[in-house]
Amino acid sequence: MSKDMRRVTKNKVRRIQPQEVKNTFTLPLSDGTLDQPSICNIMKPIIWSMVVFGIYHRDKRMEIRESTDGNTEETSTIACTCASMYSTLIYNVIVTLLSCCGLLRISICLSIGGASTVVFIFEIVVLLWFFLCTVNGIIFLKFSHYRYGRSCVFYKHWEEMVANFSELKIEYDTKKLRRVFMITFVSSWFLIGFNIVGGAILLFNPFGDGKEAMELALTSPFPATTSMKIAALIFHIYFTGVWILPAAYVLVINLAIKYGFLALCDAMEKEVRLSKDRLTDRLQDFRKVHMDLCRCIEILDKDFNILNASWYVVAICATCLILYTLINFGGDIFFNIIFTFWLLSGLGYAAVTSFFSASLHETVQGPLDALLKTSTNGITPEKQAQLNLFLAKLTVNNTGFTVLTLVTITKELLLTMTGLFLTYFFLLTQFNI
């Protein structure tokens, strides 16, 4: 074993095996001397938030970073030490099992029956929300696992890719990504707080016909005592975090990759201008960067395609049920307010995440404009081959986040789904079906 491979702790040094390093990712040094950004470091607040909610697995082993002298060192910080009690797999499993218990409880309530039609639909919508949150938690636990997930593979691939940006004079705007991340992070916690406060008010002080619905949906089959309502509120807090945070994580990841494509497009545009519209000698390098960015999407989509499918299924089912209820059974102020809020939040949840995924798919084709401006007169066969391969990738482009790897999320797909939704709304209002 190489002497350069060692692990430094507070009081001792021990050797580590090379395979212990393969699933780690580069972190910036504490003094900020690392030239390139670390996406994991930028997203650390939202990652720790998901760790607390038990849906992001952090291995108890310390994170490895590459020091300036080429030695592999272990970071030893208070944050890593405090995180160990949350990052164990046991904690994640317990939280997931409790989530499944909540899903099972509401399923039992539905099987009992005896409630009115509106209350029954209310319970179904709550069941769909619990199902979505449970799937979110399970998918992110699998995604973040150091052995079976794709997060470490993505982080490692990203750091290796971004490290080459400076050599190719590709200017990646890290400050913009940090700014967008902070806006997303603050907005996420605002939505979490708003939903928690609203749920607490409705749980302890329901109005109209909401008392029966809230008790059946959140405490049944147990008696609606104060202790049970407090337990239901704890479940509500957990499900709210599991509902919002994964979407925020996916949104920021979308933007990070999109900014990479935009930086590549800007670099290619500058190169074309400097070469006076001739084919650049760095075409192969640019093509490799484009393939690396596409590879980021492919790595993430292995886990996110199921996540996207659950979002679409729940959004479509909940929207159809809520619209049907509002049009045919509207009247009570409690249900009108709750169903309207759920309708807007469900549509907004699916629309925002889908829009950013579709925008990323469109950005993948960005380098095509720069290539079409270049002249191919007198190019060598090697360059011609590289150009043909690049154009083939850009013109026949299926790169993007998918739904169960069957359908790529594009703006055309969103337009089609919007048309179907408006058609359903028209049929409901005109024919009450």
At residue 210, the pLDDT reads: 67
pLDDT tens per residue across span 159-201:
888 888 877 788 888 889 999 999 999 999 999 999 999 888 8
Exposure pattern of 358-392 as b/e (b: 16+ CB <10 Å)?
bbbbebbebbbebbeebeeeebeeebeebbeebee
At residue 207, the pLDDT reads: 66
At residue 262, the pLDDT reads: 92
At residue 88, the pLDDT reads: 67
- What is the distance between the alpha carbons of residues 246 and 167, in angstroms, rounded to a whole number? 34
pTM attached to this predicted model? 0.83
Any idea what the Cα angle at residue 423 is, between residues 417 and 428, rounded to 5°? 130
- What is the distance between the alpha carbons of residues 228 and 338, in angstroms, rounded to a whole number? 22
Domain ranges of the chain: 49-60+89-431
- What is the distance between the alpha carbons of residues 131 and 125, in angstroms, rounded to a whole number? 10
At residue 170, the pLDDT reads: 85
- What is the distance between the alpha carbons of residues 117 and 168, in angstroms, rounded to a whole number? 63
Q: What is the mean pLDDT of each run of 10 residues along the chain (433 residues)?
A: 42 39 35 52 90 79 40 43 55 86 82 73 87 92 84 89 82 89 95 90 72 72 80 90 94 94 89 75 85 93 92 91 84 80 90 93 87 75 82 81 92 92 87 68
Q: Which residue has the tokens 């705007």?
A: 173
At residue 122, the pLDDT reads: 83
Tokens (6 digits) for 106? 């509401």
